[in-house]
Amino acid sequence: MATAPDSQISVERDGHVGVVTFSRPPQNYFDGASVEGLLSAFRELEADRQCRAIVLRAEGKTFCAGAQFGSDGNGVDADVAMRIYRSAIALFEVSKPVIAAVQGPAIGGGLGVALVADFRVASDTAWFSANFARLGVHSGFGISATLPRVVGLQAASLMLQTGRRLSAEEANRIGLVEKVVPQAALDDEAIALAGEIASGAPIAVQSMRQTLLGDRATLVRQAIEREIAEQRIHFQTDDFREGIKAAHERRPPVFTGR
C-alpha cells in the first residue's frame, strides 16, 4: 500500500486496478487537504502504466458528507472554497476510468465527489442528496455541470430544487448508479467492474472515454466559476445561517428569503 501526501488517503493496486480510499471519520467531510490528497492519489495512478482503471471508495458508514461548515455558518470563506474547487476541477481531467464504490450517504459536495467517477456502484444502504437548497446555498463541486449529464436535466433539477434524499434503488432508477449490491459485496463488485474495463485495450478505452466525455472538464470549470460566485453571495444570507443551524440541530429549516 502507498499513502498519498494527505494521510487521509491511501492507494492500493489490484492487478490493473488502482484503489483509492478516503478516510476522514466519522462523516468523511472533505477539506482542502483531503481533496488535494485525492488529486495526488489520482495523479499517482495516472502516471502508473500498469493501472488502467481506478476505484474510489471511502471508509466508514458515510461515503462523503460534503464540506464541513460551523454550527452557525459564520466565517465561511469563499476563497477557501475556491481553492478546494480548483483541485476538484483537476480530478475531472484524469484520463483513466473511475468507478465509485458508494457504501453510505453521498451528500452535497459528497455527491459531487461521487460524480467525479464514470460509474457508481452503490450498496443497498447508500443514499444520495443534493441538499444545497436545504442549507440555503448554491450547489458546488461542479454538480451543476456533472449531475445533469448523468441523470438528465429534469431529474437533476428535481434533486437540486428539492434537496430530497434518494435511496440507492431510486438512484439506480434514474441512472445515478449503475448497480445496487449488498454492503458486503460492494468493494468486490466495484473492483470487478473496474477489472472488466481494465481488461480492454487501454489506449482504445481511454480514447473512447475521452470522445464520450468531450469537454466535461471545461464545463465543470465554467460551472464552478458560477457556483462559487453565487456561493459568495449566499454565504452572507440569513437563510444560509438558518440552513446550517437547522442541519446541526436536526430540524427543518425556516427560510425567510433574506
Q: Is residue 91 part of a domain?
A: yes
pTM, entire model = 0.93
- Tell me the average pLDDT across 141-161: 97
Q: How high does pLDDT run on average in the chain?
A: 92
Placement of cell 459485496 in the chain: 185
Q: Is residue 6 part of a domain?
A: yes
Q: Is residue 188 part of a domain?
A: no
Give pLDDT, residue 70: 58
- Tell me the average pLDDT across 186-205: 98
Please say if the pLDDT value at position 62 is more than 50.
Answer: yes
Please say if the pLDDT value at position 3 is more than 90.
Answer: no
pLDDT in tens, 67-90: 876 555 555 667 777 888 888 899
Q: Is residue 213 part of a domain?
A: no
* Domain range enclosing 171: 2-183+200-204
In this structure, what CATH number is given to the domain that contains residue 116? 3.90.226.10
Q: Is residue 240 part of a domain?
A: no
User: What is the spatial distance between Cα 140 and Cα 79, in angstroms, rounded to a whole number?
Assistant: 13
Q: Is residue 154 part of a domain?
A: yes
Which of residues 80 and 53 earns the better pLDDT score?
A: 53
Q: Is residue 215 part of a domain?
A: no
User: What is the spatial distance between Cα 40 and Cα 44, in angstroms, rounded to a whole number?
Assistant: 6
| Nearest residue to 14 (alpha-carbon basis) of 141, 225, 190 | 190
* Structural domain count, the chain: 1
Give pLDDT, residue 143: 97
